[in-house]
């Protein structure tokens, strides 16, 4: 290899671009050679010969440098100790790590709580709105029902008032009907245990009995009507006698205590008045109860005498004394 070529190769190698100055073997050797090299002097033939030998040495050095550069290029992606030292010197201690982790966990927990609270608030608001809608619907329905109830109450009040009025009128009608019925029986006599015979003439037998036992003489016109009525009691059916006037009846009834047989003469009392008499007797507040001139009377042990109607409050009347 000529010295000119060696110099050209050396120059081309030295002109290689680098981004970062690196202390290579070549630069160190070059610096050492430059340092020991005396000032330039006039070259002799022996100097040219020596320069040729030095070029051979530099060629070997350049090849070695080239191999080193290739190795460095391959090692550029490998982590160096300096890099590890630079990274590890920034690592935190265990206690610091615990604090960092604690802070991170707290932050995450806070974010989680905020998220959960937000979800809860949204759900609560949703349920609240739903309940409010249902409440509004129930309020409307309740108001509608209230109006219906008021209408029904008004109707019931009207019906109750009409019913009370109807009941009052019904009672009055019942009282009037009972009074009229009792008044129509004013001249009647009811005969208990009057003997029964085949082909019996009740009018004739009655008149003979009154004449014989009561010494009362009756005319045919005094007996307006006479007949038997059904009865569930044993014995002969009762007999109803309708007399011409209350005077004739009064004449017979005054003497009825003189009857010696089982025959009894009583007033012809309506069924409703008989029920009233039974009610008065069951109270045990009266020593005597009787019928007289279409009315029912009772006398207390204290001597208080009262006339009663079909719908009277018996105890209240006795307490009030009127």
pLDDT given at position 62: 78
Domain limits, the chain: 111-185, 187-268, 269-322
DSSP secondary structure letters along 246-314: HHHHHHHHHTGGG--SS-EEEE---HHHHHHHHHHHHTT--SEEEEETTEEEEE-TT--EEEE-TT--H
Report, as ranges of residue numbers, the positions in the chain whose pLDDT lies below 50. Answer: 1-26, 28-29, 32-33, 35, 48
Residue with tokens 């009057």: 194
pLDDT given at position 322: 78
Residue with tokens 């690196």: 22
pLDDT given at position 69: 76
Class of domain 187-268: alpha beta
d(CA 112, CA 174): 86
3-class secondary structure per residue, 14-28? HCCCCCCCCCCHHHH
d(CA 12, CA 6): 10
DSSP bridge pairs for 226: 241
Backbone angles phi, psi at 247, to 5 degrees: -65, -40
| Cβ–Cβ < 8 Å for 186, 246 | yes
pLDDT given at position 235: 86
Nearest alpha-carbon partner for 41 in 32, 50, 28? 50
d(CA 253, CA 258): 10
């Amino acid at each position: 290899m000529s010295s000119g070529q060696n110099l050209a190769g050396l120059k081309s190698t030295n002109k290689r671009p680098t981004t970062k100055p690196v202390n290579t073997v070549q630069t160190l050797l070059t610096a050492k050679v430059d340092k020991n090299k005396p000032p330039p002097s006039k070259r002799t033939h022996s100097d040219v010969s020596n320069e040729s030998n030095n070029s051979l040495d530099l060629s070997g050095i350049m090849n070695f440098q080239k191999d080193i550069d290739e190795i460095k290029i391959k090692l550029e992606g490998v982590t160096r100790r300096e890099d590890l030292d630079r990274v590890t010197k920034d690592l935190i201690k265990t206690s610091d790590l615990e604090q960092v982790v604690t802070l991170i966990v707290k932050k995450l927990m806070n974010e989680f709580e905020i998220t959960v609270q937000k979800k809860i608030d949204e759900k609560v608001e949703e349920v609240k709105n739903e309940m409010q809608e249902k409440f509004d619907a129930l309020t409307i329905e309740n108001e509608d029902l209230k109006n219906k109830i008021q209408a029904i109450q008004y109707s019931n009040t009207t019906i109750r008032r009409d019913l009370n009025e109807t009941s009052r009128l019904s009672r009055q009608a019942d009282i009037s009907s009972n009074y009229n019925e009792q008044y129509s029986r004013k001249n009647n006599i009811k005969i208990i245990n009057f003997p029964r015979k085949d082909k019996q003439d009740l009018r004739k037998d009655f008149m003979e009995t009154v004449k014989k036992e009561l010494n009362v003489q009756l005319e045919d016109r005094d007996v307006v009507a006479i007949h038997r009525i059904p009865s569930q009691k044993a014995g002969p059916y009762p007999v109803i006698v309708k007399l011409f006037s209350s005077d004739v009846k009064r004449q017979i009834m005054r003497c009825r205590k003189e009857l010696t047989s089982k025959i009894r003469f009583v007033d012809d009392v309506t069924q409703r008045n008989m029920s009233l008499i039974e009610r008065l007797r069951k109270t045990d507040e009266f020593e005597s109860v009787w019928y007289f001139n279409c009315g029912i009377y009772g006398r207390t042990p204290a001597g208080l005498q009262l006339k009663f109607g079909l719908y009277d409050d018996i105890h209240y009347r006795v307490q009030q004394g009127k």
